[in-house]
């Protein structure tokens, strides 16, 4: 039952992420580059649009990789092996990847804000804050899983 819930949440998050990547980024960037005007893009505007879009796509990729790792972790939940060194390592790796991705994402958004190319900076910084909280939770759960695995091994060797 818990595995089903985790996998359902992963699928919903992946679907929302897909919508953001496929629709929100191009839409928001077209508003930022051209405003509300319906016009042809100049070569400079095309460069601004595509460079930002590629940046957001690249910084979104690790998030989808983390969801794939979350799917593997849900298998550990299903098999009742969630408190293991393997799960702890996966959670730790997810946290590390997310921290690095957030650093790149935040730095890129600060640069875009300073260049006055980021009309949705507040939204992206709120997204980064949610990502930061998620990364911290991954690290905390990693520590919990690691300690539980150690205690399980101690108990098994004692018996």
pLDDT by residue for the chain (159 residues), tens only, comes to 899 999 999 999 999 999 999 999 998 888 877 766 666 778 888 888 899 999 999 999 999 999 999 999 999 988 988 889 999 999 999 999 999 999 999 999 999 999 988 889 999 999 999 999 999 999 999 999 999 988 988 887 776
**Residue position matching structure tokens 């460069």:** 47
Task: State the pTM of this model.
Answer: 0.86
Helices (H), 20-84: 25-34, 43-78
CA dihedral of 7, 57, 135, 111, whole degrees rounded to 10 = -160
Can you give the pLDDT at residue 37?
62
Count CB neighbours of 70 within 10 A.
Answer: 19
pLDDT for 80 equals: 86
């Amino acid at each position: 039952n818990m595995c089903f819930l985790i996998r359902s949440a992963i699928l919903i998050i992946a679907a929302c992420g897909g919508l953001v990547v496929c629709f929100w980024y191009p839409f928001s960037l077209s508003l930022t580059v051209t405003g509300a005007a319906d016009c042809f893009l100049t070569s400079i505007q095309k460069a601004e649009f595509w460079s930002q879009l590629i940046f957001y796509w690249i910084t979104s990729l690790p998030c989808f990789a983390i969801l794939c790792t979350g799917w593997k972790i849900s298998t550990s939940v299903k098999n009742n092996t969630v408190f293991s060194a393997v799960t702890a390592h996966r959670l730790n790796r997810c946290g590390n990847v997310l921290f690095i991705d957030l650093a790149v994402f935040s730095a890129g958004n600060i640069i875009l804000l300073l260049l006055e190319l980021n009309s949705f900076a507040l939204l992206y910084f709120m997204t980064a804050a949610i990502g930061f909280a998620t990364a911290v939770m991954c690290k905390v759960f990693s520590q919990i899983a690691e300690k539980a695995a150690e205690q399980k091994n101690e108990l098994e060797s004692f018996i």
